[in-house]
A and B are shown apart, each in its own frame.
Chain A
């Protein structure tokens, strides 16, 4: 019981500790690719620490929703953090929810931030909230189909079980349907983490921002919570990609050596995905909002093909 709790607490700790690092790293790689020096890799930690020391300026129009939203959104993302395999299998809380629950917890988190975006009565907020929910609506069917494609392979939607099954399959797990599902999921990950070409995390230009427009009214500690929540969500989306498709190396019990290897392997996987994301961000421009349905239908089609090819490969 106590070890189970320790595993869970350590998992939360790792997620909270590594989330800003991932953001900093992607920024650094992007800067490198763009021939800039860029801020230090630890900059997100400093930013959060600075925001935490500041007080919030709150609009006079807002209701309790505005104050509750960062808390609810943060808590929902952290709860999802205990369902996603990070450094160990057989997680103590994996029974509490499967991949679908993770998706819906992210939706809960997004829902409250988008509500808060409308609370101050600013047009920017509404614009951001509307776009964010629109993108989420586009991503959702593609996501569900790729979840199905993954789940069919192992017969479960529980993440623990998927990772365990894929890692025990070894090299046999590499297959056309798995590959197609990965590309589909990667496109969804771009949308979920708000990166180019879906959203530009670095912009504050009124007409292009999505996530930033939503949280424009937040400042100080509340902003710190929102930012950290977004970073944690990003890390979780990356962990999903890593441990659903490449779970090899993840520890399945509490051996010290296994854990150490697992942590290092996790860091490597996350870094590789981070570099991939930075490459995508550098090599494409942000798309217009109304071209995004095309991008996400590509993802939908790939998941569908993954499903069909699974049926063909495994026999009808």
Chain B
């Protein structure tokens, strides 16, 4: 009963936030506080509700309508996603109290607050919907509302283009989702998810394969798997900072929720090649995402590419889990899916943090271009420190959160060797090597971002006049930064929780059979032969701190005053001489030149004689291979066919009347002859 109140309460607080922001849209300040604080209240209720479902019992409400039934069903998996969404929403809503000031007097805050609340609500409904019709309605709501959020700053033509790409891609996805639901509904005779789950596993193999493929494409488009990822690098940078934190942090995870739901719950995950396909898709997405992130100078686009990478890592764990499940090792499958969910949770935390960080940089410098930043660590010390925590986490450095989930993913891939299938034995280590490359390039990419953006001297006036982020912004980021550390240091509490989530799905607990824990938070894999303990690593490092500190402070001679940076004896200590982001990523760009296909050109203008250059302009960019070689031909094909079809569109009303007549005639003929 408490759960019902909590659930109704959380829906009510988002609805209240939405309605109140509309009502108050003339008063920027008040509107901000009411709409985002009620979203934060909803998030707190969501966290409590989620925990109460996981540690209590599943929650179910249904209302039988005449045509369709509306219903909510919250099992542990849904509850986990409610938790992921609510944590991010809590932090982002507090952050928004400061961030939204960016739009005061310029944009309608009530509109933003309304969309924001409805957007969060739609995500929560997506992970709780209990039948396909209801699901599609809220899924569409989520897509449309997030589209309006993406085009919030619609004055910019780029933003409108981003919105267009997003809405097209997301509808292609919805089309495939519809197909997979129709097959499931046709077989089970009901639109209810419970019925899908009961009859899905027993469907004919061909239909199961089709449902799998359609779901992978449909939800993959939302999650941003390669090659359906092209909307992310447009839509995420275009949206306001707080919204992109939610879109990248949690919205794309709702697609992962449905993938897990469909693969394991509806279809029973009994087919080996599904796992291989998901594993390959994950590997390709992870590599592609990070390869483009490394050379991207726009910080928000870079973060969007990195989201593609992390979705890939999550799918690696999911794919491994499916392979184990199909090979009849549910305990190993549980470990792999725990790794995937752990990474999902971590990613929503640190990516939310980093998008908020990017938002606060843009708030105070008004540029997204890494080449124009620099020296922010001195101008924005608090925000920089929090962003550094996010960066250490996403680079998977111990003892931060990314390390634990990446370690678990690597270990679950290593466990592939216990399988009998030789293809699995080869492909799993290879994808682990790809994951290692991904991790190293991610470290490269985020090191570059922090080193170029925050250290040394400011590279432009924008960066030189940056101001520290406001208190609510720092507080919002702080919540997620603390969580990043805790998720890294305390896996001993997180993994049993995740095990509770996956136990009903896998039918077995990883905890009993393979994983074990002890007081130091050691995560041990089968039979205790493999273990890691981030708390112990942290304690060891803290203990060793004494050595260098003694060395540094024991002997103080004459203190040497600071001196200029070494420049071969020349006074070159200016921002112009700093290493640029493009130069930093140059080795990777040359190494992978065949993928990037860099195009560069220079243009000089001359005054008087060809020896006197008055100005010089150099431009370099990389091609988006997928847009160029995959999407452009398809779009060209569609346009071409559309032109041919145009022939019948004469514009004459007589022609259209004759079309109608023709169709009616054919239908009548059909009724008379074929219908009987």
Chain A interface residues toward B at CB < 8 A = 12, 52-65, 70-71, 74-76, 78-79, 82, 93, 95-98, 100-101, 104-105, 107-108, 111, 114-115, 117-127, 129-131, 133-134, 136-145, 148-149, 151-152, 155-158, 161, 206, 216-217, 220-222, 224-225, 289-290, 293, 300, 303-304, 307-308, 311, 316
Contact = CB atoms under 8 A, between A and B. Distances in A.
Contacts of A206: 568
Contact of A157 (B530, B558, B565, B579): B530
Given A75-B541, A107-B396, A145-B432, 7 more contacts: A97-B531, A100-B407, A101-B537, A134-B588, A137-B437, A224-B551, A303-B433
Contacts of B557: 53-55
A82 B563 contact: no
A66 to B, nearest CB: 8
A29 B417 CA distance: 42
B567 interface: yes
B565 A217 contact: yes
Which 9 residue pairs are nearest across A and B when measured between Cβ atoms?
A126-B579, A118-B451, A121-B456, A144-B436, A140-B440, A96-B536, A156-B529, A137-B440, A134-B587
Q: Contact residue range for chain B?
A: 35 or more
Interface in B437-467: 437, 439-441, 443-444, 447-448, 450-452, 454-457
A78 B543 CA distance: 10
A114 B444 CA distance: 10
B657 interface: no
Interface string B421-439: 0100110011011111101
B522 to A, nearest CB: 5
Nearest to B457: A121
Contact of B558 (A55, A158, A304): A55
B530 A158 contact: yes
Contacts of A95: 520, 522, 524, 531, 533, 536
B541 A76 contact: yes
B558 A152 contact: no
Interface stretch (B205-213, B570-578, B631-639): B570-578
A71 B587 contact: no
A147 to B, nearest CB: 9
Interface string B522-544: 10100001111100110011001
A39 B657 CA distance: 99
Contacts of A93: 536, 540
Nearest to A96: B536
B522 A140 contact: no
Contacts of B664: none
Contacts of B587: 130-131, 134, 289-290
A241 B573 CA distance: 43
Nearest to A300: B433
From DSSP, what is the main secondary structure of chain B's interface residues?
helix
A111 B447 contact: yes
15 contacts: A75-B547, A95-B536, A100-B411, A107-B395, A121-B455, A121-B578, A126-B579, A127-B579, A136-B444, A144-B410, A148-B414, A157-B530, A158-B529, A158-B530, A303-B433
B233 to A, nearest CB: 21
A52 B403 CA distance: 34
B562 interface: yes
B455 to A, nearest CB: 4
Contact of B435 (A133, A144, A216, A308): A144
A137 B532 CA distance: 23
B53 to A, nearest CB: 34
B362 to A, nearest CB: 21
B584 A130 contact: yes
B529 A118 contact: no
Contacts of B669: none
Nearest to B529: A156
B414 A157 contact: yes
Contact of A311 (B425, B584, B585): B425
B590 interface: yes
B71 interface: no
A107 B429 contact: no
Given A58-B563, A225-B548, A118 B455 contact: yes
A59 B564 contact: yes
A229 to B, nearest CB: 9
B618 interface: no
Nearest to A56: B560
Given A74-B547, A107-B397, A130-B584, A125 B435 contact: no
Given A63-B455, A122-B565, A75 B532 contact: no
B532 A57 contact: no
A141 B432 CA distance: 8
A190 B455 CA distance: 30
B430 to A, nearest CB: 8
A188 to B, nearest CB: 12
Residue with the greatest number of chain A CB neighbours at <10 A, chosen from B441, B562, B565, B586: B565
Nearest to B444: A133
B644 interface: no
Contacts of B536: 93, 95-97
A89 B441 CA distance: 34
A108 B540 CA distance: 14
Contact of A57 (B429, B549, B560): B560
B161 interface: no
